Amino acid sequence: MISHTYQRILLKYSGEAVAGDEDQGIDPKVLHFMSKEIKSIVDRGVCVGLVIGGGNLFRGEKLNKDGMDRVAGDHMGMLATVMNGIALRDALERDGIKTRVMSAIPMPGIVEHFDRRIATQLLEAGFVVIFTAGTGNPFFTTDTAACLRGIEIGADLMLKATKVDGVYSDDPNLNKDAEFYPSLTFDDAIDKKLKVMDTTALTLARVNNLKIKVFNFRKEGGLLDIVNGKKLGTLISNG
């Protein structure tokens, strides 16, 4: 097996990422691109666990603002992540990648129920395992689920995919003077209130020493460069 800087990763895609340039729905072209990127590291022996969001379809907080009960909205949000996971599995399998989808909420006949030991065994056997339905609980985000699953599978890195090159002091699409941070500590990310991830996710990663890399998922070859230790994106760690 080829030796990489990172041998086991947890990759987190937001729901908006799979929507491509549209705000809603699922763009098959984006799924195909993601699949090619994932294949480039799976073929080199890297173990890949994946968490997918659901914001392209439903978000509990937004539904709640529009008048729906928050828990009902969060249940819809979690179900949305399962739909995205099924779509991503389809794209990966079409590219010849062995893939399984697990859900934190049991859904027999559609996807498997999350089981950490089985997930770890599948990863070691070369399967990509997509973890869906977040943590299975309302009031959490899929970023928190990504940190949780990353810790559970013993990932050496959690990779959070974004549409910009990493973490900035401000939105680089709106402010050309926004400062890029090549690295940050968890304390910095929390204290500076940078909109990179919610505090629950950052705190969970900090306490369990799970390193996070925020990177631009649209850059071709980016995933392979990162697992090979190239200095792309922003690394968040305990310093």
Residues between 159 and 218 with contacts to ligand UDP, criterion CB under 6 A? none
Q: Contact with ligand UDP (CB under 6 A): which of 10, 41, 47, 54?
A: 54
Whether 197 contacts 143, CB under 8 Å: yes
Does position 20 interact with ligand UDP (CB under 6 A)? The reply is no
Whether 131 contacts 53, CB under 8 Å: no
Whether 162 contacts 217, CB under 8 Å: yes
Q: Which stretch binds ligand UDP (CB under 6 A): 40-48, 71-79, 87-95, 166-174?
A: 71-79
Structure tokens at 232: 């792309």
- Minimal CB distance residue for ligand UDP: 53
Q: Which is nearer to ligand UDP, 147 or 189 (CB)?
A: 147
Alpha helices for 95-218 (secondary structure H): 116-124, 142-152, 186-191, 199-208
Nearest to 208 by CA among 154, 160, 134: 154
CA-to-CA separations, 75 to 19, 72, 89, 112, in angstroms, rounded: 20, 5, 21, 18
Each residue 134-153 as x (binds ligand UDP by CB under 6 A) or -, in order, gives: xx-xx-xxxx-x--------
Q: Contact with ligand UDP (CB under 6 A): which of 30, 78, 155, 159?
A: 78
Q: Which is nearer to ligand UDP, 68 or 178 (CB)?
A: 68
Whether 158 contacts 208, CB under 8 Å: no
Q: Contact with ligand UDP (CB under 6 A): which of 6, 26, 55, 166?
A: 55
Per the annotation, binding residues are: 12-15, 54-55, 59, 74, 135-142, 162, 168, 171
Binding residues (CB under 6 A) for ligand UDP: these are 14-16, 53-55, 59-61, 73-74, 77-78, 80-81, 134-135, 137-138, 140-143, 145
